[in-house]
Amino acid sequence: MNKVINTEKAPRAIGPYSQAIQTDNGFLYISGQTPIDPKTGKLVEGGIIEQTKQVFENIKAILEEAGYSFNDVVKMNCLLDSMDDFAAMNSIYSQYYTDILPARAAYAVEKLPLGCMVEIETIAYKSI
């Protein structure tokens, strides 16, 4: 049976979805995380660097709540409001992935929720 994963250390969903779903076969599907500070419920101030850091802290909180780590991540989809921010996003991304690098796609999109600059969706796998 699939398990809903929720933590107070990551922002609440801004729509009718779960922060993450863990499947019976060990996959963890984390909904796209935006740079919302879970303590304030608001977008973090600053540019792409600050926003990307917050996104990764939100992902980390959800991974930890489910008993996973960044080494368990197998796939990520990075959505940017501008490909001009790709290098800066990558500079933060590389701080969280040093050993096992997941498969990844990065896209520029027209608009992201709440006017943010970055949103990242994550899939992790762990044998259970």
CA-to-CA dists, residue 21 to 5, 8, 26, 84, angstroms: 6, 16, 10, 32
Report angle CA 121, 97, 62 to the nearest 5 degrees. 45
Per-residue tokens: 20: 């993450």
Question: Per residue in 33-84, pLDDT tens?
Answer: 999 999 999 999 999 999 999 999 999 999 999 999 999 999 999 999 999 9
> CATH says 3-125 is which class?
alpha beta
pLDDT band at 90 (very low <50, low <70, confident <90, very high): very high
Nearest in space to 97 (alpha carbons), one of 128, 65, 69: 69
Q: At what angle do helices 48-66 and 86-96 cross, to 10 degrees?
A: 30
In this prediction the pTM is: 0.95
102 vs 127, residue with greater confidence: 102
Query: What is the residue type of 31?
Result: S
Residues in the chain: 128
